[in-house]
């Protein structure tokens, strides 16, 4: 899934692009023969960065494959990188991936993207300060809400979907424009926003909770999901209960969820994709040690009925184990 400014975000994008080019040219950490591959992900502090780091560690230690984690400012950078082959693997949410493949994202139609597997359901929420009067998403009316997400455009769509569950639109709140979720969290900490959006399990969520003296998740109204699905059809609700991962959850509740997907490029060799999946499935305990949310990972359950094609190497892996595509929740 570290306080950053727009300038630092831009620098990270530039550094990531240069690093990708060097890796592709074989100037860093060897060449393709040494099995060095790029893994594009979000900035440090995000759930996806921790997930990519956990997978890269296991790939190297258990699979003999050297994956270089390449942090970027957001999904709008990650998806084109993988589509162009500047990184062999990426991780992003299912909404962003489908938009990119269909040509509905800012990068145009990214037709070389292929799904590898679903990593885990991405449980998210709106957080406010523990002492704030707001209790539900509907209570955000007239409040300062982080929006925009210029480097993560789909997050803006998901924010609007979540607001819709409370009967709200962008016109009912005071938008605080941010490039990505990290900046949104930082603006919340600084007092520039009344809430922030993030995924459970990300280190940033715990950091914010400690910094502001306690945070709390806003309740979401299940009756508002039909309105939310008019904004984004990929979201659904799953349960959350008080526990180490669910910072700010004070009682059993429903939270807004969509899938986090690992994807690749159609030109990546089948054997690399096959080995990637095999290594993940055989070494799940090691993955969970670094990233607890990967407890939800299952190659069998991660083979879902999406509209983006799967990579042939993944299909071969699933077929050999008689895994069938699962319907979306």
**What's the whole-model pTM score?**
0.74
Looking from the CA of 265 toward its CB, the CA atoms found within 13 Å total 19
pLDDT at 174 over 60: yes
CATH 3.40.190.10 matches 123-258: yes
Give me the pLDDT at residue 60, please: 96
Contact 89, 33 (CB under 8 A): no
Give me the pLDDT at residue 329, please: 65
Structure confidence at residue 198 as a pLDDT band (50, 70, 90): very high
Structure confidence at residue 34 as a pLDDT band (50, 70, 90): low
For range 205-223, the mean pLDDT: 97
Give me the pLDDT at residue 238, please: 92
pLDDT at 38 over 70: yes
pLDDT at 3 over 50: no
pLDDT at 83 over 80: yes
Q: What is the DSSP letter of 254?
A: E
pLDDT at 123 over 60: yes
Q: Give percent of the chain above pLDDT 70.
A: 89
Give me the pLDDT at residue 45, please: 87
Q: Tell me which range, 97-101, 274-278, 302-306, is most confidently predicted by mean pLDDT.
A: 274-278
pLDDT at 61 over 80: yes
The burial class, CB within 10 Å (0-12 / 13-18 / 19+), for 292 is middle
Judge if 6-121+260-320 and 123-258 fold alike in CATH terms. Answer: yes
Sign of CA dihedral 247, 9, 114, 319: negative
Q: Give percent of the chain above pLDDT 90.
A: 78
Distance CA(204)–CA(210), nearest Å, equals 10
CATH number of 6-121+260-320: 3.40.190.10
Give me the pLDDT at residue 327, please: 83
Cβ atoms within 10 Å of 10's Cβ, excluding its own: 13
**Domain spans of the chain?**
6-121+260-320, 123-258
More confident site: 6 or 138: 138
- Of 145-154, 170-179, 302-311, where does mean pLDDT reach its minimum? 145-154
Give me the pLDDT at residue 4, please: 33
As a whole number, the mean pLDDT across the chain is 89
pLDDT at 130 over 80: yes
């Amino acid at each position: 899934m570290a306080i950053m400014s727009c300038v630092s975000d831009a620098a990270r994008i530039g550094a990531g692009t240069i690093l990708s080019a060097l890796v592709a040219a074989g100037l860093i950490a060897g060449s393709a023969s040494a099995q060095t591959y790029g893994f594009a992900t979000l900035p440090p502090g995000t759930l996806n960065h921790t997930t990519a780091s956990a997978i890269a560690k296991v790939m190297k230690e258990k699979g003999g494959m050297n994956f270089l984690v390449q942090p970027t400012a957001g999904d709008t950078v990650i998806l084109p990188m993988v589509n162009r082959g500047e990184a062999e693997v990426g991780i992003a949410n299912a909404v962003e991936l489908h938009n990119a493949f269909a040509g509905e994202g800012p990068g145009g139609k990214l037709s070389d993207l292929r799904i590898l597997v679903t990593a885990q359901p991405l449980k998210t929420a709106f957080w406010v300060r523990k002492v704030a009067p707001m209790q539900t998403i509907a209570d955000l009316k007239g409040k300062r809400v982080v929006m925009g997400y210029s480097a993560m455009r789909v997050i803006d769509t998901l924010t609007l979907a979540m607001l819709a569950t409370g009967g709200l639109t962008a016109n009912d709140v005071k938008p605080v424009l941010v490039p990505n979720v990290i900046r949104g969290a930082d603006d919340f900490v600084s007092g520039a926003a009344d809430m922030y959006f993030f995924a459970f399990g990300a280190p940033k969520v715990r950091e914010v909770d400690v910094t502001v003296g306690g945070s709390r998740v806003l309740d979401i109204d299940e009756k508002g999901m039909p309105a939310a699905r008019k904004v984004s059809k990929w979201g659904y609700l799953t349960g959350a209960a008080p526990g180490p991962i669910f910072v700010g959850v004070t009682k059993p509740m429903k939270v807004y969820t969509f899938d986090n997907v690992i994807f690749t490029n159609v030109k990546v060799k089948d054997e690399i994709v096959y080995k990637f999946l095999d290594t993940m499935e055989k070494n799940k305990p090691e993955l969970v040690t670094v990233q607890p949310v990967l407890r939800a990972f299952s190659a069998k359950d991660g083979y879902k009925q999406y509209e983006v094609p799967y990579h042939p190497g993944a299909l071969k892996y699933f077929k050999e184990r008689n895994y069938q595509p699962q319907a979306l929740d």
